[in-house]
Amino acid sequence: MLDSSTEFIELLKKGDRIAFAQLVEEYQHIVYNTILNICKQQHDAEDLTQEVFMQIFKSVHQFRGEAKLSTWIYKITYTKALEWERKKKAKRSINYFKNLIGIDHKSDGIADFNHPGIELQNKENATLLYTALDQLSDNQRIAFILIKAEGLTYQEVGKIMNKTTKSIEGLIHRANHHLRQILEKRID
C-alpha cells in the first residue's frame, strides 16, 4: 500500500501525473466497490468513481496526513455516494408524481442489482440483503457495508465516519438487529 509514503503524498500535492495514475490504480477497487455497494448501479458507480478521483485531485493539498490516505479516500467516497443517493431519491419522488399524473419514466434498475464480486451461490441471498439494507439509516448502512463488504475493522470505520469504536459497535449491533427483523418478515 502507498499509505505510509509521505513522499508519495507530496508528489500528489505537486500534481505529479505518474503519482496520480498510481493512486487511481491502487485505490480504484476500494472506491468503485464502496460506491457500487451503496448506489447499486454499475454505470453510475463508474461515473461516481471518476468524480471521487477528481475530488481527490482537487483537494489533496488539504490532506494533512493525520489519518491514513485510504481513510481519507473512503470518507470522500461514501460522502459522494450518499450525496448521489439523496439526489436520486429526490428524482424518484419527482418520478412518482410524474407517474401519478400519467407521464412515463424509466425504472432505475436498483431492484435487479447483483454485485459482480459475489459468489454465484450467494447471489440470491445478497440481493435480499441489499434490499433489506435500503431500509436502514445511512450511518448503519455505511458502517455495515464498510465492515462486512470492505472488510474494515471497527476502528478503521470509526476513523472514516468520525465516530468512536464503541459507537460503530452500537451501529453494527442495531443494523444486525434491524436486518434480522426485516429479513424475518421477508423470509416468512
Partner 1 sequence: MKDNKQIETVLDSFNNMSRAELSPFVKSRILHSIFEQEKDIEMELPLKRVFWILSFATLFLFVNTIILHNKKYNNKTESNQTSYKDNSNEYYFNTTSLFYNDDKQ
State the residues that interact with partner 1 by CB under 8 A: 15, 17, 20-21, 24-25, 28-30, 32-33, 36, 46, 49-50, 53-54, 57-58, 115-119, 122, 125-126, 128-129, 132, 148-149, 176, 179-180, 183-184, 187-188
Return the number of the residue (146 or 160) whose C-beta is nearest partner 1. 146
Question: Cβ 101 to partner 1, closest distance in Å?
Answer: 37
Return the number of the residue (95 or 148) whose C-beta is nearest partner 1. 148
Residues 142 and 136 sit within 8 Å (Cβ to Cβ)? no
Return the number of the residue (125 or 153) whose C-beta is nearest partner 1. 125
Question: Cβ 11 to partner 1, closest distance in Å?
Answer: 14
Question: Cβ 148 to partner 1, closest distance in Å?
Answer: 4
Return the number of the residue (95 or 139) whose C-beta is nearest partner 1. 139
Residues 49 and 31 sit within 8 Å (Cβ to Cβ)? yes
Question: Cβ 40 to partner 1, closest distance in Å?
Answer: 12
Report the alpha-carbon distance of residue 2 to residue 30 in Å, rounded: 14
**Local structure of residue 147 (DSSP, 8 states):** I
- Checking 32-36 for CB contacts under 8 A at 24+ apart, the result is 33/117, 33/149, 33/150, 34/74, 34/77, 34/78, 34/81, 34/145, 34/146, 34/149, 34/150, 35/77, 35/80, 35/81, 36/115
